[in-house]
Structure 1
Amino acid sequence: MARTPPREARPYDAQTLARAALDYAARYATTRAKLAAYLRRKLKERGWAGEGDPGVDALVARFADHGYVDDLAFADARAQSLLRRGYGARRIAASLRAAGIEADTAESLRDEIDSGAEDAALRFARRRRIGPYADHVPDRDERRRWVAAMARAGHAMDTVMRVLAMDAAELDIDVGDVTSQG
């Protein structure tokens, strides 16, 4: 039995492009930059059948005006999520840049990120069982690896050194409980 070739998708017009944008914004937490990149990719794949320019930037701006896309809310949610997972300010900033968040929007979250920096570093140390959460005293090479891991996670060096200098008694934790939690 012969297979019929797949039907070629029709090019976008203004209405179908707006529908594609709405479907994407409804399904994914997104930014203006990510929505614009998605629409441009779709236009490249299927083409444009409408009159004139597709007006991707105007469509994205309209979606932002209606509140379908909110860069500040996206950035705040992403920053909070990364802080809860134990990442530092540099790693959060890189993630926001990759998502297309403008520098001034990211900067508006700086105080919030900075205020959670030490707690995030402690969460990272706990998850990795390093510093005050380790069940042993590290040798020099292992301590360097701990510093490097925390630096890669985006923590400032002063925060890294402060967290690694803490001991379990200072944090009122039982290291045996931490290591048995798997």
Structure 2
Amino acid sequence: MSKPPRRISPSVLENIALHYLDRFDSSAENLRRVLMRRVARAARHHGDDPAEGAALVAALVARFCASGLIDDARFAENRSRSLHRRGRPARAIRQTLAAKGVGDEEIAAALADLAEETGAAGDLAAARHYVRRRRLGPWRPPEERAARRDKDLAALARAGFSWGVAQAALDEGRGEGEDEDEVDLAFPGTFR
């Protein structure tokens, strides 16, 4: 049996928010959603009015934004870099940030900074990371590459890469210093 939720008060709500922000970076809208889920659950359990909790959440999020504890621009910049390193294209980064409640201006600024850092081939670099991480194309054993090419292109398309970028990422060979002899494909992350 699960523990009943605590009755919402300003101090309880602040503790919940601080604990969440201690574990995760968040946008203002995302934190508001997290706190409103907690308020709704507590209101259902205790028979309280969720509108009172919503006012407390709005005041708390505004206070955290004013103090700099929450900064949507910083969140968008950090999250876009993280997603790019994991091999996500700009389109997928934009969708992820929008789903987290980041505004269009912050998203555009974060993607512009990312494009400035990565250069013109930002999506191609992300596709290379994705291909390597998923062991597609040049990272497959040579005997499987031709047979799996269509599946690799489909995987890149599902990840949000354009057809041209997907083909370029699969057609490229391994980078310098990443020869077949140096990387053990049977045990990812180990070297011979």
Shift of 1:36: 0.7
TM-score of the pair, normalised by structure 1: 0.77
Shift of 1:9: 5.3
TM-score of the pair, normalised by structure 2: 0.74
Task: Show the counterpart of 1:124.
Answer: 130
Task: Show the counterpart of 2:83.
Answer: 82
Maintained 8 Å contact 2:76/2:107 = yes
Higher relative contact order (CA 8 A, sep 6+): 1
Shift of 1:7: 8.5
Q: Is the alpha carbon distance of 1:149 and 1:22 closer, same or farther for their aligned partners in structure 2, counting shifts above 3 Å?
A: same
Task: Show the counterpart of 2:38.
Answer: 42
1:144-182 deviation digits (Å, cap 9, x = unpaired):
1111111222223222122222234xx334123333552
Q: Which runs of 5+ in 1 are unaligned?
A: none
Q: Distance in 1 between matches of 2:24 and 2:179?
A: 41
Moved over 4 A (4+): 5-10, 51-54
Residue 19 of structure 2 is aligned with which of 16, 23, 29? 23
Maintained 8 Å contact 1:14/1:54 = no
Maintained 8 Å contact 1:89/1:113 = no
Q: Is the alpha carbon distance of 1:20 and 1:161 closer, same or farther for their aligned partners in structure 2, counting shifts above 3 Å?
A: same
Amino acid of the structure 1 residue aligned with 2:140: A
Please give the secondary structure, in 1, of the residue aligned with 2:148: helix
Identical aligned pairs, as a percentage? 30
The RMSD of aligned alpha carbons is 3.0
Structure label with greater radius of gyration = 1
Q: Which runs of 5+ in 2 are unaligned?
A: none
1:25-62 deviation digits (Å, cap 9, x = unpaired):
3343221112111221222222358x967422232121
Q: Distance in 1 between matches of 2:114 and 2:103?
A: 16
Maintained 8 Å contact 1:32/1:69 = yes
Maintained 8 Å contact 2:89/2:161 = yes
Q: Is the alpha carbon distance of 1:41 and 1:120 closer, same or farther for their aligned partners in structure 2, counting shifts above 3 Å?
A: same
Maintained 8 Å contact 1:92/1:154 = no
1:54-111 deviation digits (Å, cap 9, x = unpaired):
4222321211111111222222222222222222222222222222222221111223
Amino acid of the structure 1 residue aligned with 2:112: D
Number of residue pairs the alignment of both structures matches: 175
